[in-house]
Amino acid sequence: MKITSIKSHILQYDLPKELGYSQQYYAKRSTHLVEITTDEGLTGWGECFGPGNVAIANKTIVEQVIQPMILGKDPLDREAIWHHVYNLLRDHGQKGMPLQALSGVDIALWDLFGKIANLPLSKLVGGHFRDKVPVYGYGMMLCREDTNSHVARFKDEAAAIKDAGFAATKMKVGLGVKDDIRLAEAVREAVGDDFPFMVDANHCYTTSDALHVGYALDELNAYWFEEPIAPEDYEGYRELRNKLKTNIAGGEAEFTRWGWRHLLEGRCVDIAQPEVCAVGGISEYLKVLALAHAHFTPVVNHVWGSAVAIATNLHLLAAMPPMPGGLFPREPMLEFDTTHNLFRDELLLEPLNIQAQVATNSGYVSIPDGPGLGVEPDRDFIKKFRIN
């Protein structure tokens, strides 16, 4: 069997409402799918992290840089292909967009592997430690409104996420230290004292400001404080972890085992958040997972994208060893973006129906059991929303 083509599909539509986080506002939802075909008619699907114009640039890397390197190769030689591409791209970037592009290609190769073996991805990477995973609902984005409006809306959204059956919730911050603390207090009030909530800063603070917010989160018993400062600031992460009770989470902007080595050896995070669609794909994710567990650091995957990314992560979470083990181990959760996303809800021929599963299964969702990722995109849907 040989690889005959690699194609990027960039999908995009106008959101009904502009959304934002600490770095920017955005009015369009986009996703970047990768399709690999073989001379025996099998197709594998993957996804690259990176929205908008980043996706357009990554399409060029996928089709014009990576594709010529691996056409004609056996798709089962995933590890050999990964290292071949990485070694040739090493001089041009060991992080960032080349790795995002390689991630989508690698995920598609694993999907092909599962289809060839007629086994789901979760069985290929180690088997099930769990047949279902809890889901936390991610919402409460920033908008162009005043603080009082944010407070009222965050209260309503947090309560709605809890009432929908999710196991926990996560909010954005980025308005400034005092206003962000007000938002966190509002969310805690809305969900009650015992419901887990997390705070995602998207690296908007200096270390001193992050400490100010972090001390408030300690009082509110937040579960984790995500990406409080710039991802390059390992020393700042270490300082925050040493001074705060709230778990420090991060790593979505880290790449490969070599980048993660510094983050973990530095004892920078309490909870590791690799993004499989950026870190280097499934092949590299498995190495990062092993490295995190070797440093006794629990992993809760970062998930942002379409139903392809969600399905990939469901398999990886099913096959993740508990950390630590015991009668009551800390279990990983699936991150689920509750905002408007047609690429999550309508992309697949057979939708995952995450929200419905959460509502009827006490916050849990099951693992796809078909070969590979266990999902197939609807080509008519892709054609409708494809912009390239």
Catalytic residue IDs: 302
- Of 178, 228, 181, the C-alpha closest to 204 is 228
Identify the helix (H) or strand (E) that includes residue 373: none
Rg (alpha carbons) of the chain, rounded to whole number: 20
- The secondary structure of 319-350 as a DSSP string is TPPPSS-SSSPPPP-EEEE-S--HHHHTSBSS
Q: What 3-state DSSP class applies to 152? A: helix
Q: How far apart are CA 207 and CA 188, in angstroms?
A: 23
**What six digits make up the tokens of 71?**
């056409």
Listed residue (78, 76, 123) closest to 370, CA to CA: 123
In single-letter form, the type of residue at position 98 comes to: P
CA 169 → CA 135, 161, 342, distances in Å?
9, 7, 21
